[in-house]
A and B are shown apart, each in its own frame.
Chain A
């Protein structure tokens, strides 16, 4: 029973990371209307940014803020240089471009940092016992950061003028145009938020495990699965989808082994697309 509870907890932890990545995917899909395959590599970039930042500043927290800024900046630059010129064309063009961008980011990271695994220098703390479950205190901090990130994103979406305009564009792009809503600030906000959220997901992932040029790319499938499971374009859906997939992956580990747990995402993605393409939260066309 304790074993189950520990798997469940660890599943929720990975679920938060998957959920954050899924949120980035779903926001871009809802507003810019394509699946961004560079989401995973933006995570990696954020993690490397945080590694370098930590080395420079000597503080993991400051380093992480630098990683976050790097992710947001890279995301905005990729919008300006790659996705904006493709606006108005078929979403397939943007999707293919994002795959190319993903390879590009990964290659640059590999070139600069090499392919060895890196770790964050975190203090080693004794796990605490809670109701018989061993919990890493760091995990609690990560969970707090992930949940605060979600809170900030939802506050922006629902309680600020720019968030309202982002939701308006997601809801009805044509009407947004005739209502005098300029697309540019909306897109810049979208890409900075998506980049920052991806970077945070990548940094937490890196701190929990290791950082390598492939670590974000490997999260792409679970992130897509989370976004699709929650109903693509639906932010809360992406979080719930991420948590469900995280838990399913961990609970499957005793049966299929560590190596194959990623297959769970694939199966979820497949089943949702076959049985309920609009996902758990139903409405399939924008951010709400």
Chain B
């Protein structure tokens, strides 16, 4: 089992934003999390990736209970997220963004930079080759040396995916990857996700574009007002009256 979220709860005062949510993911799953705005999906992501501390509940990743591990430690363990509004190191180029995320670099230590320059340089060459592969895979070659702040919304989403890949992520949590992305790129992005999944990377995806999502995921969870109200096969979930009720006719297509 890759990821086990157990009885996760987060409350602000009396308001339970995430209420007793449990989700399990096998290796190589692509799982969708849907629900109306304010259902607590992004908060759940923050709890799982260590941005927020939950009031109760636990997260186990690849057999290890994460406890109070920091966001950095979780990312290093292979649990990496993206953001609803894409984030990037905006003053650095696409290539630099990806290079920065390569894990276990000897050269991340200043002393090594001075005293083991040969080894650091050799590792740089290896990292650069991996980055080149990722750039080619995501078709970002044309903008590789452009400051990432000036990319289009869709390109920034690709870059986020690329950065997650460079960290060596085993499970990538995507927060609304299709929002604000044109239909052609949505198709391409879905294709990339499938390809990566075939290489053994799991995905947990929050998305409002239920059409695109249901074609992609193996299983869907539905949240409403902090609680899980339904889960299962995408087709079954989308025809579940409880789910339709939660959306009150809006959004389910």
Contact = CB atoms under 8 A, between A and B. Distances in A.
Contacts of A185: 108-110
Contacts of B99: 161, 164
A168 B92 contact: yes
Contact of A175 (B49, B88, B96, B123): B88
Given A161-B120, A180-B80, A180-B103, A175 B110 contact: no
Contacts of A174: 87
A222 B197 CA distance: 56
Interface in B16-63: 49
Contacts of B120: 160-161
Interface stretch (B69-77, B198-206, B245-253): B69-77
B7 interface: no
A177 interface: yes
A236 to B, nearest CB: 12
Contacts of A165: 100, 108
A250 to B, nearest CB: 33
Interface in B83-120: 87-92, 96-97, 99-103, 105-110, 113, 120
Contacts of A161: 99, 102, 105-108, 113, 120, 123-124, 127
- Overall SS of chain A's interface: helix
Contacts of A178: 49, 71-72, 75, 80-81
Interface in B120-153: 120, 123-124, 127
B108 A162 contact: yes
A179 B163 contact: yes
Contacts of B9: none
A192 to B, nearest CB: 6
B167 interface: yes
A132 interface: no
B80 to A, nearest CB: 6
Which of A161, A164, A174, A185 gathers the greatest number of chain B CB atoms within 10 Å? A161
A125 to B, nearest CB: 32
A115 interface: no
Which of A162, A164, A288 gathers the greatest number of chain B CB atoms within 10 Å? A164
B87 A175 contact: yes
Given A178-B80, A180-B101, A193 B110 contact: yes
Contacts of B167: 179-180
A162 B113 contact: yes
Which of B49, B107, B167 gathers the greatest number of chain A CB atoms within 10 Å? B107
A136 interface: no
B152 to A, nearest CB: 18
Given A171-B91, A177-B75, A162 B101 contact: no
Interface in B154-194: 163, 167
A171 B90 contact: yes
Nearest to A190: B110
A177 B107 contact: no
A188 B72 CA distance: 17
B88 A172 contact: yes
B72 A177 contact: yes
Contacts of B97: 168
28 contacts: A160-B113, A160-B120, A161-B102, A161-B107, A161-B120, A162-B109, A162-B113, A164-B92, A164-B100, A167-B91, A168-B89, A171-B90, A171-B92, A172-B87, A172-B88, A172-B90, A175-B87, A177-B72, A177-B75, A178-B81, A179-B101, A180-B103, A180-B167, A181-B108, A189-B110, A192-B110, A286-B91, A288-B91
**Those 3 A-B pairs whose CB atoms lie nearest each other, nearest first:** A161-B107, A180-B75, A189-B110
Given A156-B110, A193-B110, 6 more contacts: A161-B107, A161-B120, A161-B127, A175-B88, A178-B72, A189-B109
